[in-house]
Amino acid sequence: MISKRIAAFGDYFAPILCVLRSFAPMHVRTLVRIGLLGVLASGLNAAGYLALMPLIGFATKANENLVLGPWSLPAGATGLLLLIGLAVALAIGALEVGYLNYRSALTLVRDTATEAAIRGLGQVRSVKPAGRRRRAVNDVLGSVSFGCGILMRQVASGLAEAMELVVFIGVLLWLSPALTLAFLLCATVAGLFYARSVGAVTGAIVDNRALAARARDDIKTLAADLDAEPEDAGTPSALRERVRLMYEAGPVAELMEGKLHIRRESKRGPMMVEYLFPVALVVFPLLVLPGGHLTDDLGPIIVYLLFLRKVIGLLQGLAGQMMLVGRIHPLLQCYADLQQGKSPARCPFMGNAADENLDPDEDT
């Protein structure tokens, strides 16, 4: 069972690695720039959040001055306005850098898709008959090349978010080492559940390939029977019962359940991380109360929770990106098969796509 699961993971990641080996060397500078921009965006965000701490402390009268760590400034009108303006400017700067990063990642989609189309077309010249070759050209220029571009965008976005995650976790450790270590322990446990969801999605995608072929045979048989009926036959009860049985048992039913299972697990995995925030929202203030007044620590509590919310959002973003790779996996498999000269290639134009024809950028 374990060896089968390892083999399934190997089959799953092989086309992903093939695409990355094809296009990552072309975009090293862009990937490095996106990673550095991620660090800059997180630094600006962190500074903006930290600037709120003395403002909250002064607003609750916990401090007469603007206090941040070892620094203390008189809380005059000028100082307050400057600090507020600084917090706003830092937040806006972080948003602008994030948008620049997003645009940089989008350029990878176009550039990678263009190169993937060029390389893919070189492999479909020998596809026969002509009708299938035309479908091959359409698929390679469309969904397959676009899927390769989406993968590179996901890698770039994931790199930026990983850099941001490192910065924010570092700030959380500075604010409260004990609570942050407890959170990381809980996040690790939640990550194990999430890894299970990724494994379930991976296994379902692999299984759906075989189910899709069997389901198509049943559907073709049904279509042939419908062609044999007169046009005015309507929808007799026998046909209704036959379709109902197809969706209750057999390859069509199993394929449908497999697709629904993928969607359930895609939702279930990220939710395990999301559960951490409401727990922290309640537990953190309760842990602070025995050592003093909540008002005195309101600034650090609010800022800590803001950072924690951001970290959880980044973890969810990374989880969602991994799930999206599963959705475009059949397109990556097609490109890898074409480049490796496998026959028959597991491509939509060969009539053996693993899933329905989806926009590879759907749900992103």
Please tell me the distance from the alpha carbon of residue 57 to that of residue 193, in angstroms, as a whole number.
39
Q: What is the pLDDT of residue 120?
A: 83
Contact status, residue 165 vs residue 273, Cβ threshold 8 Å: no
Cis peptide before 177 (omega within 30 of 0): no
Per residue in 140-165, pLDDT (tens digit) is 888 889 999 999 998 998 888 888 88
Q: What is the pLDDT along the chain (364 residues), one digit of tens a residue?
A: 556 556 666 777 888 898 999 899 989 999 999 989 989 998 998 888 888 777 776 666 655 666 565 566 666 667 677 778 888 898 899 889 989 988 888 888 889 999 988 888 877 777 777 777 788 888 888 888 999 999 999 899 888 888 888 999 998 888 888 888 888 887 777 777 666 666 666 666 656 666 776 777 777 777 776 666 655 555 566 666 767 777 777 777 777 777 777 677 666 666 666 666 666 666 666 665 555 555 556 667 778 888 888 888 888 788 777 777 877 888 888 888 888 887 777 787 776 444 444 445 544 4
Task: Give the C-alpha distances (Å, rounded to integers) separating 244 from 18, 82, 251.
Answer: 41, 69, 13
User: Which of 215, 200, 145 is CA-nearest to residue 355?
Assistant: 215
Q: What is the pLDDT of residue 23?
A: 92
Q: What is the pLDDT of residue 363?
A: 44
SS3 label, residue 37: helix
Q: What is the pLDDT of residue 353?
A: 42
Quick one: tokens of 220? 């073709």
Task: Give the C-alpha distances (Å, rounded to integers) separating 66 from 58, 70, 72, 213, 352.
Answer: 6, 11, 5, 68, 65
Q: What is the pLDDT of residue 228?
A: 63
Q: What is the pLDDT of residue 358?
A: 45
Q: What is the pLDDT of residue 152?
A: 92
Q: What is the pLDDT of residue 5?
A: 57
Quick one: how many helices (H) and strands (E) in the chain? 11, 2
Q: What is the pLDDT of residue 151?
A: 92
Contact status, residue 115 vs residue 151, Cβ threshold 8 Å: no
Please tell me the distance from the alpha carbon of residue 343 to that of residue 131, in angstroms, as a whole number.
18
Per residue in 71-125, pLDDT (tens digit) is 666 666 676 777 788 888 988 998 899 899 888 888 888 899 999 888 888 777 7
Quick one: tokens of 249? 């048992």
Task: Give the C-alpha distances (Å, rounded to integers) separating 259 from 83, 86, 238, 327.
Answer: 52, 49, 27, 10
Q: What is the pLDDT of residue 184?
A: 83
User: Which of 14, 114, 21 is CA-nearest to residue 337?
Assistant: 14
